Amino acid sequence: MNTPSPRLTASIGVGLIGAVLLAGAGVLALESEAEASQQVTKYVRYSHEGATSYGILEGDTVYELDGDLFASPQRSGRSMPLADVTLLAPVEPSKVIAVGLNYRSHIGRSPVPEYPGLFAKYPTSIIGPDAEIIIPADAGNVHYEGELVVVIGRTAKNVSIEDAPDYIFGVTAGNDVSERAWQGTDLQWLRAKAADTFGPIGPAIVVGLDYNDLLVETRLNGETRQSESSKDLVFGVDHIVSYISRYVTLYPGDVIFTGTPGATRSMQPGDVVEIEVQGVGVLRNTVAAAR
């Protein structure tokens, strides 16, 4: 058997080391790309010194944005402590669409729907963090419904399930406030679901989360009442966006309530309801009687 010369052996060694280094660099590059693709950004809408703006929330600091939130806005260079601003509903939708009976835990013994059951709420139902949920004087059985809410980022019409992620800007937390007695008696759910203040959303729109597996929790006066992952949705987020776009054109800023898990109960004036979506934060609202 021929023995390699020392020079050849050294050359082979250097080559192997180089290959290992290159492979390592390739792994690091892939990891960097993966980290970049998983980058999470929190967008907020807020009022400060009499002006309303959009911003990026990083820690306890809000960085003001210039331009359209859905068209590559740029940082203005101004920033302020979160404690100095008032957070508003993170978006002003042209339409608010919701899906009913979309968790098996909420359906109970009823048959699983064959397609998403849709209804509408009005933009005037939308309120932000720390705003009051107002119970109308003739309402008798108003429930919380904690939900994952999808925010549309591009005009969407006849979008496929596969392409739906390209039209989703991000997600937020929402409370599909519902008057159960009116749901059972009215011709449609206009009063029951779309009354003023019956659509809290916030505190931020978050981009970069895996919306197919986020924990959704509801707390009433500090007690956990709902807790389930969005992976348990009967119809997933992409399916919902695709389905709605067959019939209704979705515009940037439109929001979709995706359904509530488990059982719900009534809220009373003075109660504090918190909806927390994993990675989004806590949407906190107090309940008040109509004045």
Helices (H), the chain: 6-37, 104-107, 180-185, 190-194, 237-247
Torsion 191-93-99-155 (CA) sign: positive
- Respond yes or no on whether the N-terminal peptide bond of residue 203 is cis (omega within 30° of 0): yes
Contacts of the segment 207-211: beta carbons below 8 A, 24+ positions apart: 207/40, 207/41, 207/42, 207/43, 207/169, 207/170, 208/38, 208/39, 208/40, 208/41, 208/170, 209/40, 209/170, 209/171, 209/278, 209/279, 209/280, 211/148, 211/150, 211/168, 211/171, 211/237
**CA 69/CA 38 separation, integer angstroms:** 20
pLDDT per position as a tens digit, 159-216: 999 999 999 999 999 999 999 999 999 999 999 999 999 999 999 999 999 999 999 9
| CATH assignment, 41-87 | 2.30.30.370
**CA 31/CA 174 separation, integer angstroms:** 33
Domain edges within the chain: 41-87, 96-289
pLDDT per position as a tens digit, 4-50: 444 444 444 444 444 434 444 444 443 444 444 469 999 999 999 99
Q: What is the mean pLDDT of residues 105-117?
A: 91
Q: What is the mean pLDDT of residues 110-133?
A: 96
The fold for domain 96-289 equals: Fumarylacetoacetate hydrolase; domain 2 (3.90.850)
**Chain-centre distance of CA 255, in angstroms?**
9
Q: Do 239 and 161 contact (CB within 8 A), yes or no?
A: yes
pLDDT per position as a tens digit, 182-198: 999 999 999 999 999 99
pTM: 0.87
pLDDT per position as a tens digit, 77-95: 999 999 999 999 999 999 9
